[in-house]
Amino acid sequence: MSKRYRADYHVHSKHSPDCKVPIDEVCQAAILKGFQEIAITDHFEFYTPGHPVGFFTPKYIGKIFADIEEAQKKYEGSLIIRKGIEFGQPTVNPELARSILEQFQFDYVIGSVHKVGNLSLSNVAYNAHNIEDICLNYFDMLYELADEGEFDCLGHIDMIRLYAAKQGTPLNILEYEEQLIPILRRVIERGKGIEINTTGFRQELSTTLPDISVLKLYRELGGQILTIGSDAHSIADVGSGWSESAILAKLAGFDYVTLYQNRRPMLITIES
Ligand SMILES: [Zn+2]
Ligand SMILES: [Zn+2]
C-alpha cells in the first residue's frame, strides 16, 4: 500500500441532523486534500423503546446508501467511499441495532456514547462537584457498549473530556483508568477497535480523542485495531488532523491503521 495512503474514517454529511454538506462535496474535499478513502458515518441515534426516533429510521439509511452509491460510481478510481454509520447508544435498543445491521450491509460501524441516560453530553452542566458521577455514568454506558454492543470501533472514547473542557471543567482521563482498562480489554477481546478522533484538535483541547496516553494504554493492553477520523461536519474539517494523528499513533506504538470493507478489518502500514 502506498506510503501516502490516507483514509478519513469518520465523516458526516447532510443526512446527519447536525451537518449540511452533501456527500458529493465531502468526496470532492477528500480528493482535494489527498485522501484515497473515506467512510461516510452519519449519525444513527438509538432511544429506549417507546421514545420518538426522529430522523433515525431505516428509510433514512436507505437515502444515505443511495447517495453513497451514486458517489461511488462518480468517483470510482479516485476515491474509495465506504458505507459507514455512527451508532449512538445502540445498547439502549439492541433489537433495533441488530435489525438495522441485517437490513443494510455497512462497511464500517462506529459505536459512540453521546448521551448519559436520555441527556445529551453536550447539554449536561459540568462542574467540579458532579464531574466524577457523570464520568462514572458515562464509562458505565461505554462499558456496556464495549461488552455487548454492535460496532466495529468505539468513537471518541473520551468525548466527555471535550464537553467538560468547553465549560471550564478540565478532566484528566487517566484518573478513570480503572474504568477505561476493562473497556479497552473488552474491545480487544471482541476483535474490535477504537478510533483517534481529531475533533479535540480543533476545539478546546488541542489533543485528539483520546490522546496519546490512552492510545499507549490501549497498545500496552494488546490493542491493534485503530482508525483515524476527523468527525468532520463541514468541508473545512474533512481530513483535518489526520496526518498529525498518524504520527501520534506511531508514537504510541501502532504500526498500522485499520480500514474496513463489509465490516472486515484490513490493516495498512503507517508510513512516516
Ligand atoms: Zn460522535
Ligand atoms: Zn461523529
Domains of the chain as residue ranges with CATH = 7-269 (3.20.20.140)
**Residue-level pLDDT at 1:** 47
112 CA to centre of ligand 1 in angstroms: 6
Average pLDDT over residues 209-215: 96
Q: What is the Å distance from ligand 2's center to 165 Cα?
A: 18
Span 182-196, pLDDT tens digits:
999 999 999 999 999
Q: What is the mean pLDDT of residues 30-55?
A: 93
CA of 76 from ligand 1 middle (Å) equals 28
- pTM comes to 0.97
- In the reported structure, the alpha carbon of residue 43 is separated from the centroid of ligand 2 by a whole-number distance in angstroms of 7
Expressed in angstroms and rounded, the spacing between residue 108 Cα and the centre of ligand 1 is: 14
73 by Cβ neighbours in 10 Å (0-12 / 13-18 / 19+) ranks as exposed
Sign of CA dihedral 181, 187, 191, 196: negative
Q: What is the pLDDT of residue 117?
A: 75
Question: What average pLDDT does the segment 160-174 reach?
Answer: 91
Question: Can you give the pLDDT at residue 2?
Answer: 47
Q: Which residue has the higher pLDDT, 38 or 205?
A: 38
Q: Of 40-54, 102-116, 198-212, give the range with the top mean pLDDT.
A: 102-116
pLDDT score of 272 more than 70: no
Residue 35 CA, ligand 1 centroid: distance in Å: 21
Give me the residue label for grid cell 468505539: 154
Q: What is the pLDDT of residue 170?
A: 87
Q: Read off the pLDDT of each residue in 156-166 and give the average, rounded to a whole number.
A: 93
Ion ligand 2 nearby residues (CB, 5 A): 86, 231
Average pLDDT, the chain: 95
Which pLDDT value is given to residue 3? 55
Share of the chain above pLDDT 70, in %: 99
Q: In the block, which residue shows the cell 462497511?
A: 107
Q: How many CA atoms lie within 13 A of 115 on its CB side?
A: 15
State the distance from the centre of ligand 2 to the C-alpha of 230, rounded, in angstroms: 8
